[in-house]
Amino acid sequence: MHKDELLELHEQMVVIKDYFRSRDEVDEEIFEPYEGLDVTPDDVHRSKSEHKHAVFVLGNALAGAMSDGEFSSAGRLGKRMEELADDAESKI
């Protein structure tokens, strides 16, 4: 995936995050790991690896927001996103 495509994906995922943040039943703390990274789609000067890591961390948070438990489809997706985020972080 090219960096511009990754930035577009990151931007779309932030839109989804904002939707979930607006819902009362979603715990806002679920997005703190992503927000703690301080990497946004607007940060074009950040490396591709940093954006990739941010996308996986955000994907994990989004899956958690949709999940009913670790063994639901979203829960399994969240677990995989967590593994990919750890791998991406090791390459930064």
pLDDT digit string (tens) for 6-63?
999 999 999 999 988 888 888 889 999 999 999 999 999 999 999 999 999 999 999 8
**Residue 40 backbone zone (phi > 0: left; psi -120 to 50: alpha; other: beta):** beta
Which domain CATH number covers 82?
1.20.1270.110
- Mind listing the pLDDT tens digit for each residue in 63-73? 888 875 444 56
Look at the chain and report how many structural domains it folds into.
1
Please give the pLDDT value at position 15. 95
Say which residues have a Cβ less than 8 Å from residue 72's Cβ, sequence separation at least 6. none
pTM equals 0.76
Domain range for 27: 3-90
- Residue 82 pLDDT greater than 50, yes or no: yes
DSSP state of 51: H
Residue closest to 34 by CA, chosen among 9, 53, 19: 53
Give CA–CA dist 62/87, Å, rounded: 18
